[in-house]
Amino acid sequence: MKITWYGHSAFRVEAGAAKILIDPFLTGNPSWDKGWEGPAEGVTHVLLTHGHNDHVGDTLAILKKTGAMLVANFEICMYLVGQGADQGKINPGNHGGTVDCGGFTTTFVAAWHSSSFGGEGGTNTYLGNPGGLVLHFPGDKTLYHMGDTDIFSDMALINELHEPKIGLVPIGDRFTMGGAVAALACRRFFKFETVLPCHYGSFPIIDQTAEKFVAGMDGSGVEVLTPEPGGMVSL
């Protein structure tokens, strides 16, 4: 499996024939100034954790360019269909549900956050409940993108049900867990082999480094990877 981080919460995951973008906020991402076309090359799926602008990002343009499958909650899927996405290429779900994505499955799990798309004049369009996404790849490690979230005790159930080995974990504080709390979540509730922190270092009002998280994970035995935006790791 290959994972590329583009800053904020945007990742590309390649496993088998699947080439997946998760929360592809690329245009306007302060951590990434190289556009969406490169990260979207050959993409087969776009997965969204929730409806905030800094997670939906370039999804619509990517879907129209690539013909990729959209995997998101029902409200997000239908909102983007209303904006011009192909209704025949959506794969909606909601908390507790698992959808077959062809070559892997995605399970929708809870997250403590909010979810809406901001428009002109301060308007916000409700886009369902925020969530995390658990990706099961046959013969490969299970990956959990937490989305934007605080710590919550039912993370223990997510681990019991899915046993994710790779965690994509928000750590930036203010809108999500801070680094120390995110480390507590990883250590208390999961048995990750590898974690990649995210949702930091982009906007100036959130934490700029992963130092607190890295310090909190010290001695845990978990591999913590902090690539530069655009950096790829192989697991």
The answer to whether 170 touches 148, Cβ cutoff 8 Å, is: yes
177 falls within a domain: yes
Instruction: Quickly count: other Cβ atoms within 10 Å of residue 15's Cβ.
Output: 20
Residue 235 in any domain: the answer is: no
Amino acid at position 202, single letter: S
Residue 104 lies in a domain: yes
Half-sphere exposure of 22 (CA within 13 A, CB side): 28
**How remote is the C-alpha of 21 from its chain's centroid?**
9
Q: What is the pLDDT, as a whole number, of residue 189? A: 98
Rounded to the nearest integer, the mean pLDDT of the chain is 98
Domain that holds residue 174: 2-228
Check if the beta carbon of residue 20 is closer than 8 Å to that of residue 12.
yes
As beta bridge partners, residue 167 has: 144, 195
Compute the distance between CA of residue 108 and CA of residue 26 in angstroms, rounded to an integer.
23
User: Does residue 233 fall inside a structural domain?
Assistant: no
DSSP state of 198: E
User: What is the domain count for the chain?
Assistant: 1
Question: Mean pLDDT, to the nearest integer, of 186-192?
Answer: 98
* Buried b or exposed e, range 164-181, using 16+ CB within 10 angstroms: bbbbbbbbbbebbbbbeb
* Domain-embedded: residue 234: no
- Those residues with Cβ within 8 angstroms of residue 87's Cβ, 6 or more apart along the chain or in another chain: 81
SS3 197: strand
Give the distance from CA 50 to its chain's centroid: 9
Question: Taking CA 68 as the corner, what is the angle to CA 58 and CA 172, rounded to the nearest 5 degrees?
Answer: 40
What three-state secondary structure class fits 56? helix
pLDDT score of 106: 98
User: Would you state the torsion angle of the CA atoms of residues 170, 175, 181, 184, taken in this order, to the nearest 10 degrees?
Assistant: -40
Per-residue model confidence as pLDDT tens digits over 108-160: 999 999 999 999 999 999 999 999 999 999 999 999 999 999 999 999 999 99
Identity of the residue numbered 83 = Q
Q: What is the CATH number of the domain that holds 96?
A: 3.60.15.10
Q: How far apart are CA 8 and CA 31, in angstroms?
A: 7
pLDDT confidence of residue 210 = 98
pTM of the model: 0.98
- What pLDDT does residue 124 have? 97
30 phi, psi to nearest 5 deg? -60, -20
User: What percentage of the chain has pLDDT greater than the value 90?
Assistant: 100
β-bridge mates for residue 134, sequence order:
107, 144
pLDDT band at 179 (very low <50, low <70, confident <90, very high): very high
pLDDT of residue 164: 98
| Per-residue pLDDT, 3 | 98
